[in-house]
Amino acid sequence: MATAKANMEKNPYENMKRLSPRKRAFKQMAGRFFQNKLAVIGGVFTILLICTAILAPVLAPYDPVEQDYAKYLESPSAENWFGTDEIGRDILSRVIYGAQVSIKAGIISVGIALAIGLPIGLFSGYYRGKLDEYVVMRLTDAILAFPPLVLALALAAVLGAGLENAMLAIGIVYVPTFVRLMRAEVLSQREREYVEAAKASGIRDLKIIFLHIFPNCLGPILVQATLAIAGAIIAEASLSYLGLGTQPPTPSWGSMLSMGQGYLAEAPWIALFPGVFIFITVLSINLFGDGLRDALDPKMK
């Protein structure tokens, strides 16, 4: 027994051989991910940001909408770490609560895009035909012809100002991306032997689509969804900056940038801190998404 245990300690791959293929693949993927230090850092910061957004009422030192004109444009200090804005509100508290808006906007916008885009791409890629070629693909091509931010701006202007409408507009903009990605993955999977075997066994199309093809398409979808959240955060900040997203007095990083631009010479901290958090958040999510993509890449196995 001692000899067998010693041999297993000498050969770290012995335990891997005992695992099921699925568990072994997951362990290999996790190993590749954790070897990417930048991806791990991005993932850790993303988790911290989510925790900050959830615990905002506990972490924020002040009410983010409370006005104190006695603290008008105070610079960063021990009492107000990030300083105060033009009406005496604490910048740190507003940045913390702004994380709630950004995370909410990113997740819900991408959730809307996934809920609409994945079923369309799934059925379109599996059944093909004229509906796929002349309606679905041409419509997605037409939407993708517009710059995403310009299209989101136009939709938000039509729907009206507000966070909910901004999230809906951003979600619609990302729908074609997930339609095309899901369709491409389904086209690749539907020609494989396991699908042919399932059809020969008499399994119904819906079962083949949802139980066999769909799970094998989730890797690229997960990576794209992660990267899309970063884009959605930028889009929400841009719409709020232009007055079509989150409305005052609710704190949003984009609206804080808009308000701070008039005080860049006098009080640069008003725009500095929300801008820094937008940059770090988007960078971290992109690093995390890139790490996931590398970990899930079959060529790296």
Residue pLDDT, tens place only, 3-56: 544 554 455 445 555 556 667 766 777 778 788 888 899 999 999 999 999 999
Alpha carbon distance 26, 20 (integer Å) = 10
State the pLDDT at residue 1.
Answer: 46
Residue pLDDT, tens place only, 237-247: 999 998 888 88
Distances (CA, A) of 150 to 170, 173, 191, 261: 10, 10, 38, 22
SS3 175: helix
State the pLDDT at residue 265.
Answer: 85
Measure the N-to-C terminal CA separation of the chain; round to a whole number of Å.
33
Tokens 């409305």, located at residue: 247
State the pLDDT at residue 178.
Answer: 94
pTM recorded for the entire structure: 0.86
CA angle 45, 51, 55 (to 5 degrees): 145
Number of Cβ within a 10 Å radius of residue 254: 29
Q: Which CATH number fits domain 38-300: 1.10.760.10, 1.10.1200.10, 3.20.20.140, 1.10.3720.10?
A: 1.10.3720.10
Sequence ranges of the domains in the chain: 38-300
CA angle 285, 286, 291 (to 5 degrees): 100
- pLDDT tier at 217 (50, 70, 90 boundaries)? confident
